[in-house]
């Protein structure tokens, strides 16, 4: 079970990218870029980075909590073999005490729930909590639809303006990977 979660955590960045990573060279570059992002020591469950690769051009999409993360991730990606250009579209989330409290509260509630407790000790836990101006997005990978509903239900106990549940199941991620 832990191995499945590790695989799921490693593919969090793959969702939404199969069309652009279709050939083997793009896929190889994609995997190397993905590894650089996931191994970035300041990448947390409060950040979301999606990667698209097209003939050596890497597009970074998503949101990070600090400006230095945006810049550091771009620098790491530029060093990857096969990367010829980086289009950094990472947005920096606004500084907000309310957002910080919401992020922390939701993450603590999710990862203390028995369904997700085993994930908390993972290097890259698979559920990411993105909060922007009181609006919450749950992103990442869960085992099944029940876990997706549980995570959404937990987030619904907090005073967010909206909750967008973009969690994917392992089966959905597997289908996306098979398209590659």
Which residues form the domain of 63?
2-93
Same domain, 11 and 57: yes
Q: Is residue 2 pLDDT above 70, yes or no?
A: no
Domain co-membership, 143 together with 87: no
- Which of 76, 93, 110 is a domain's end point? 93
Look at phi and psi of residue 136 and say left if phi exceeds 0, alpha if psi is from -120 to 50, else beta: beta
pLDDT for 117-127, tens place per residue? 888 888 889 99
47 has pLDDT over 70: yes
Of 36, 66, 93, the domain-final residue: 93
Q: Residues 11, 37: contact at Cβ < 8 Å?
A: no
Higher pLDDT, 118 or 43: 43
**Are 86 and 7 members of one domain?**
yes
Looking at the structure, do residues 142 and 107 belong to the same domain, yes or no? yes
Percent composition of the chain: helix, strand, coil (DSSP 3-state, to 5): 45, 25, 30
- Kind of pairing between the strands at 85-92 and 127-132: unpaired
Torsion angle, alpha carbons of 48, 123, 106, 167, to 10: 50
Q: Which of 93, 115, 137 is the last residue of a domain?
A: 93
Assess whether 8 and 70 both reside in one domain.
Answer: yes
The answer as to whether 180 is a domain residue is no
Query: What is the number of structural domains in the chain?
Result: 2
| Terminal alpha carbon distance of the chain | 24
| Residues 51 and 78 placed together within one structural domain of the fold | yes
What confidence tens digit (pLDDT) does each residue in 66-108 have?
999 999 999 999 999 989 999 999 999 999 999 999 999 999 9
Q: What is the DSSP track for 62-126?
A: EEESSHHHHHHHHHHHHTSTT--EEEEEEEEPPP-HHHHHHHHHHHHHHHHSTTTGGGTTSSS-S
């Amino acid at each position: 079970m832990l191995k499945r979660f590790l695989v799921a955590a490693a593919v969090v960045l793959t969702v939404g990218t199969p069309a652009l990573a279709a050939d083997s060279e793009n896929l190889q570059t994609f995997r190397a870029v993905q590894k650089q992002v996931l191994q970035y020591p300041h990448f947390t469950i409060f950040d979301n980075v999606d990667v698209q690769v097209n003939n050596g051009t890497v597009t970074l999409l998503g949101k990070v909590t600090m400006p230095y993360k945006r810049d550091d991730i771009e620098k790491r990606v530029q060093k990857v073999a096969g990367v010829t250009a980086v289009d950094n579209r990472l947005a920096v989330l606004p500084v907000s005490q309310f957002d910080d409290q919401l992020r922390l509260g939701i993450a603590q509630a999710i990862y203390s729930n028995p369904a997700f407790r085993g994930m908390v000790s993972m290097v890259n836990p698979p559920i990411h909590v993105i909060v922007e101006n009181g609006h919450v997005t749950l992103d990442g990978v869960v085992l099944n639809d029940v876990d997706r509903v549980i995570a959404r239900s937990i987030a619904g106990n907090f005073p967010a303006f909206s909750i967008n549940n973009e969690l994917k199941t392992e089966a959905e991620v597997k289908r996306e990977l098979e398209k590659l």
